[in-house]
A and B are shown apart, each in its own frame.
Chain A
């Protein structure tokens, strides 16, 4: 050490002139020792780069990549703890520290919300600044010397922490946030080892925010993240701050529930245990849980989630970061549908006896019965219907099986009478979900994104907020959480726009990146071909599809839809079901069962005793999405896998395995008997389905479509999703979702 000091002193006359030798060496250490008094901060910063003992600069926090602007004018250099970092202009001091690999403690700052700067936890020392500065709210300036680890900064944090803990109850042992609490962690890392507060702590009345979010307002530290989330991301003005000083509290102004489809996210962003999950309350501790990174199937977005399970039970679902799909939010349906996975489960194969009652049987017997019936029906009377939660593997097996039996009547529910499967661009969100942020005009045709795909709606709202993009909507009156223009209720308005007669045309004409989103509810209309050709006319007229921009989108409704269309499950449902003698329902609960002939033999393969089991003759239990490995394609064409988090219930099996076993008993054995075998087969039919976590854009444009002669009918568009909280077998079985629809839906 002394040697280095001498070397530095001799080599650098500048140093010798400014800093006395012993403090210079001590202060050049990156770690703060008692001798490195705050007396000579300038010397410390000046020496640090030259000192060979200084540890190398750290990587950015969380391995984040920082994209510097191409123009060097727009980047600037700051020094964090003596290390130079280059950051884009407009970064805050806190962001600069993150780039330098220094994690600043914070409560109120959240990268996806506006900056409040009211918790004061992120105080750092900035050279030549008289006081510590709140780094989250301070823009970084060129050449700024930021010090995060000096006694001043440490003391400031300790003081802030002491004030925060002053009114925070000491109920960590009974708090649901315990173990994943920011306040807990940061008071261990940055707080003092004792408090000096001996007076009474304040207490705040708990608020009722509805059946999803539990509040213990005494624990609140007034970071206002929830308020900002509600008003900025969720787009509801439900939460706010009341009072001043120690009387300050978060509330809903008047007694009111939080009616947002994203309300569950306030649980995640709350840094303390003030807002916790009501269904999860006191069910488990977070360190007991096993996290499985999988995806959600309750809508077509394919939100990335982590399923937290304990033993055989799914305990909760939390979001996972995916900038392209759901950012870090998920909808309430995704988050709280998990109790549906534990109710109404089919766990044994069952056969309906002659008395009309179901009897549990072995797999051998059940498959034998189905195979026997299969031998007796004519090949063309066999119909297979895939449900809205089916994965690509099982749909592939279903299609192969039905085809092998000699029928081509295999379809997926929700895709309408003539599914538009010829061109991938006709059923995908071609702009991609993240791409919507570049749009400046939205035209929503027959879709209510808020209930059909809450995460897509959040993305549209983000765009509207950020760039004042205009939103126009054609369809039945519905709720939007951003400004929009309701153009009309029926296809007539669309035709007017296509013909250039509508006043909205001028907006579309001037738009740089216009986006048209058509709902998948249009698939069910008789005039869907004409409708889509009208939409394409609009697209062509207003330059929506260009080589550099594809703004023509279809927003799908169900997780299985895109993969089903890729795999070619495209039979006409009404015709095939009307004439069927053998109906194979693979989790399909929303087909019109009244049309099924009375003498038809119905096999229901699925995981929940939902609607269709009551018509079934044989029930084959299968596994839910949390229990199997399956491929799903979301509405933008991104292929993702589910990963099994918990074991299957009872005697249930994976869908494709049941079909494979049945095919063998029926004498038409499918040529694969492993998951990789099925995926090999899928890669022959739709190679994009084996490229996981990749979004395969469509290559052929809709130009090649033959002209449509059909006429657009004047029937107004219908609401597709009546109840946001209950759309499929899992959510219909969920008690929490039932509570939500009872209390939160506007009647």
Chain B
């Protein structure tokens, strides 16, 4: 807590109050108060490593210790208001979903083809063709090639704009933005007014 206060005071001293407030707004700290998801992300961010920032400004964090395994990578979206999972570009998707360990930055770097050991380069160490070691190497080799190929998308990533407008976006029932089902009463009460009709 003290660290947070100190950080805030430092920020004010460095930037001046108005600049600091603008910065805080851009970073979504005010939205935190209304948006629990964002607040939770911000709290998680404390002490986590910022692994990278993609071209849209989404920040990717990782925290290896003191976190439940499988929840140790996450993203803070650049868009603080209407964020959704389709804003993550493909080069970061693999890292974020634990498909690969190379970050989106590594994937985008057009690494020279010579950087990876060729399969035949390690042939002296490998055993008979068809052995287990060779199979492993072949798999890891092709994985690395796949990661490099993330660059191969010709069209730039775009988030999913379908269902623009709150009413068209899917929100599960019970979600604050789901227009249906406000009333969770599961029975229909008897209406005394109906007796005049009958």
Please report A residues at the B interface, Cβ cutoff 8 Å.
311-313, 341-348, 350, 357-358, 608-609, 613-614, 649-650
Contact = CB atoms under 8 A, between A and B. Distances in A.
Contacts, number: 41
Interface in B171-198: 186-193, 195-196, 198
B189 A345 contact: yes
A342 B195 contact: no
Given A313-B186, A345-B190, A608-B190, 12 more contacts: A341-B187, A342-B188, A344-B188, A345-B189, A347-B187, A348-B189, A358-B192, A609-B190, A609-B192, A613-B190, A613-B195, A614-B198
- Which residue of B188, B189, B190, B192 has the most chain A CB atoms within 10 A of its CB atom? B190
Given A614-B195, A614-B198, A650 B186 contact: no
Contacts of B196: 357
A346 B187 contact: no
Nearest to B186: A313
A345 B187 CA distance: 7
A55 B122 CA distance: 55
A397 to B, nearest CB: 24
A350 B188 contact: no
7 contacts: A312-B187, A345-B187, A347-B187, A347-B190, A350-B192, A357-B193, A649-B189
B190 A342 contact: no
A346 B189 CA distance: 6
A311 B190 contact: no
A594 B179 CA distance: 48
A261 to B, nearest CB: 27
Contact of B188 (A311, A343, A357, A613): A343
Contacts of A348: 189
A609 B186 CA distance: 17
A649 B188 CA distance: 10
A346 to B, nearest CB: 5
A311 B173 CA distance: 15
A346 B195 contact: no
A342 B187 CA distance: 4
A358 B196 CA distance: 11
B54 to A, nearest CB: 35
Nearest to A345: B187
Interface core residue of B189, B193, B198 (most chain A CB under 10 Å): B189
A649 B187 contact: yes
A649 B186 CA distance: 9
A365 to B, nearest CB: 16
Interface string B131-160: 000000000000000000000000000000
Contacts of B188: 342-345
Given A614-B195, A614-B198, A344 B190 contact: yes
A348 B191 CA distance: 11
A348 B190 CA distance: 10
B103 to A, nearest CB: 36
Contacts of A357: 192-193, 196
A86 B160 CA distance: 69
Contact of B187 (A343, A350, A614): A343
Contacts of B189: 344-348, 649-650
Give the contact-size bracket for chain B. 10 to 19
Contacts of A650: 189
A284 to B, nearest CB: 12
Contacts of A358: 192, 195
Nearest to B189: A347
Contacts of B195: 358, 613-614
Contacts of B191: 609
Nearest to A352: B192
Contacts of A345: 187-190
Contact of B186 (A312, A346, A608): A312
Contacts of A311: 186
A677 B88 CA distance: 65
Q: Sorted from nearest, which 10 A-B pairs have the closest CB atoms?
A: A609-B190, A358-B192, A313-B186, A342-B187, A347-B189, A344-B190, A345-B187, A649-B187, A343-B188, A312-B186
A542 B35 CA distance: 83
A342 B190 CA distance: 10
A343 B191 CA distance: 10
A540 B137 CA distance: 96
A370 B192 CA distance: 19
A346 B190 contact: yes
B174 to A, nearest CB: 12
A339 to B, nearest CB: 10
B80 to A, nearest CB: 35
A604 B193 CA distance: 17
B190 to A, nearest CB: 3
Nearest to B190: A609
B159 to A, nearest CB: 29
A313 B187 CA distance: 8
Contacts of A346: 189-190
Nearest to B198: A614
A618 to B, nearest CB: 12
B83 to A, nearest CB: 30
B127 to A, nearest CB: 30
Contact of A342 (B186, B192, B198): B186
Contacts of B198: 614
B65 to A, nearest CB: 37
A358 B108 CA distance: 72
A331 B198 CA distance: 32
A358 B187 CA distance: 20
A358 B189 CA distance: 14
A313 B188 CA distance: 12
A649 B191 CA distance: 14
A227 B45 CA distance: 65
A210 B48 CA distance: 62
B120 to A, nearest CB: 38
A320 B198 CA distance: 40
B114 to A, nearest CB: 44
A377 B159 CA distance: 76
A584 B189 CA distance: 22
Contacts of A344: 188-190
Contacts of B190: 344-347, 608-609, 613
A350 B195 CA distance: 14
Contacts of A614: 195, 198
A282 B189 CA distance: 24
Interface string B25-39: 000000000000000
B186 to A, nearest CB: 4
A608 B191 CA distance: 11
Nearest to B192: A358
Interface in B2-23: none
Contacts of B193: 357
Nearest to B196: A357
A718 B11 CA distance: 91
A344 B193 CA distance: 12
A613 B190 CA distance: 10
Nearest to A607: B190
B175 to A, nearest CB: 18
A341 B192 CA distance: 18
Contacts of B186: 311-313, 342
A348 B189 CA distance: 9
A613 B189 CA distance: 13
A614 B197 CA distance: 12
A341 B188 CA distance: 9
Nearest to A608: B190
A342 B185 CA distance: 10
A357 B187 CA distance: 22
Interface in B88-117: none
Nearest to B188: A343
A395 to B, nearest CB: 23
A19 to B, nearest CB: 42
B60 to A, nearest CB: 34
A105 to B, nearest CB: 38
Contacts of A312: 186-187
